[in-house]
Amino acid sequence: MGKSGWATTGLAILIPLVSIAWGIDLYRSLGLNLFGEQVLSLILALVLPLVFLRYPARGSVSGQRDKIPFYDVIAALLGFSCALYVAFEYPRIFEELYTRPLDATIIGAVLILLVVEGLRRTAGTFLALVVLFFLVFALFGHFVPGDLQGRKVALDRLIVYLAIDSNGMFGLPMVVSSTIVVAFVLFGNLLTKSGGGNFFTDLSMAVMGRYRGGSAKIAVTASSLFGSISGSAVSNVASTGIITIPLMKAGGFRASTAGAIEAVASTGGQLMPPVMGAAAFLMAEMLQISYSDIVMAALPPAALYYLALFIQADLLAARSDIAKIDKSEIPRMRKVFSQGWQFLVPFAILILALFQFNQRPENAALWACSSLLVIGLFSGYGQKRLHLSKIGNILAATGNSVVDIVLIGAGAGIIIGVLNITSLGFALTLSLVDFAGGSLPMLLVLSAIVSIILGMGMPTVGVYILLATLVAPSLIELGVQPLAAHLFVLYFGMMSMITPPVAIAAFSAAVIAKSRPVATAIEAVRFAWSAYIIPFVFVFSPALILEGALIDIVLAMTRASIGVWLVTACIVGYFNGLLNTYLRIIYLLLGLGLLIPAEVMPGGFPTVIFTLAAGLLAIVYEFVFTQKDASANGKLG
């Protein structure tokens, strides 16, 4: 390992160590009363040089770089020294903040430029251009005519506000990405390295392998379990897809279908409680409501998402006569559970710490990490064990994994700062509402399209922060409940991962499946059809996010579940047998009728009961009055 290799490894290891020390209040225990901004700038001092030493100006990172250009060395040193200067001098700068000291202005300008370039190298050109656009608007927005005209701000005030103030770069997004996200990425790395990932894959295989289309159901189950923690749909595809996609292809699924199922399952992991790719913690902070409220509200829509995917995989397997996995390839449940049951303990600790003891998310994750460390060192799974000598590698992997997330948090802080200091945020909200003509359905459609476009190619945290800042306020302005509005934009932001033309999760799965990327993305959209419908439903029917009376919640979930089942059968063209055109149309109309929220259903409660009865009758008809071929296709499940 060369000098640059040792330097980048050391910087990467320090990132989670600084974050952990902040999470457990180690600084205070040592008698250091630090501003939060000092710790954030210290983390930025580690992240910026890591970016310029590892990520070339063109191309992507791939291990250690053999030769680092002089300009990257200069940028790394500038980023380290400027951010470290802020860390040490922040108490004095804070007292002089409104006088805009010259040193803060110069260093702030350098940090902003380095963050934008770092974003371009790590998170992609699109997000860097978005941040750059807002910076240009902050400078020249007062020349823009009409409703979107910004407030004129002096250059030195703008730089200090965006780069040093807690309302800018060192704001809430960077706080969450530097604490909560780091802790959960560490949790995921410990889980993988100690064998926990293999345990959950084997458990999924033992549970689902005996049913028709079992390979697809294994992919759905494993990816939903791991995807919530991973924080990235693409990394989830890469980690679980390398096992599940070949398994599905061997089981009889087409390559594009196998890739699509994995992409949809992995993307859904970002919508699945309790972690939701760290978006749940951000949402709780931004809405100022309890984390448990976010988790409970997100659970029913996520359940419907996976119900649609699970049923579609099952019916497709039946229609295509895909056999079950050979028994010899299915691990025995008793053996799997006896070897790996201990990996359920960290999740139990995580949930208890969050919900029972009201611990901060980063502290709950650290408690879970501690238990994983013990399990990995003394137990592990199969032949996989943790070794103390590998802890440094795990910390380094964690640091490298969060570089882009920390920079996204900093970039999002810049955007939020521009929206606040120029009053553009308020103007954008009014403009979206005016463009939709004050019509909520039109605004929802417009917001869905904008969310998919803005979310293209970005990690979950970046997608959510951007959309929660730019799009969600307009929905709230027209009367949508804040929680429903934020979940709405998160859903459509995540759908950018599988929606052409970018569809990075689907394209990543296509690489593993060796299928055509566009064909895989189109199939992924079909498998994830419910995610394009359900957000509209819970906006008009808050019962679907557990708001309202118990009877309303039960009725809404029952209707939505049956509706999802019928529409999925229509899409596949199979229920308990092949469906002709007329039955497919009937099931489509019945399913959509059941998905229409009771609050907007014409005819009120009697119509709701009628559609529910009709849907149940359709299912009974299929299982009672049609010819069954269960002996050929296996049982539903």
| Cα 73 from Cα 20, distance rounded (Å) | 28
Q: What is the pTM of this model?
A: 0.78
81, part of any domain: yes
286, part of any domain: no
252, part of any domain: no
Residue 381: phi and psi, rounded to 5, are -140, 125
pLDDT of residue 52: 94
Contacts 24+ apart (CB under 8 A), 338-345: 339/199, 339/381, 339/382, 340/195, 340/196, 340/199, 340/202, 340/203, 340/381, 342/375, 342/379, 343/191, 343/194, 343/195, 343/196, 343/199, 343/200, 343/372, 343/375, 343/381, 345/371, 345/375
Cis check for the bond before 69: say yes or no (omega within 30 of 0).
no
% of the chain with per-residue pLDDT over 70: 92
Say whether pLDDT at 60 is over 70: no
281, part of any domain: no
Which of the residue ranges 121-135, 213-227, 390-404, 415-429 would you say has the lowest mean pLDDT?
Answer: 213-227
The count of structural domains within the chain is: 2
| Cα 204 from Cα 201, distance rounded (Å) | 5
223, part of any domain: no
| Cα 192 from Cα 585, distance rounded (Å) | 45
| Cα 538 from Cα 61, distance rounded (Å) | 41
% of the chain with per-residue pLDDT over 90: 36
**Mean pLDDT of all residues in 62-87:** 87
Domain boundary among 155, 173, 191: 173
Say whether pLDDT at 632 is over 80: no
Domain boundary among 150, 173, 196: 173
More confident residue, 90 or 357: 90
Chain-wide mean pLDDT for the chain? 85
More confident residue, 546 or 3: 546
Domain boundary among 145, 173, 201: 173
**Mean pLDDT of all residues in 586-594:** 87
Q: Which domain holds residue 595?
A: 548-637
pLDDT of residue 456: 73
26, part of any domain: yes
pLDDT of residue 229: 61
387, part of any domain: no
602, part of any domain: yes
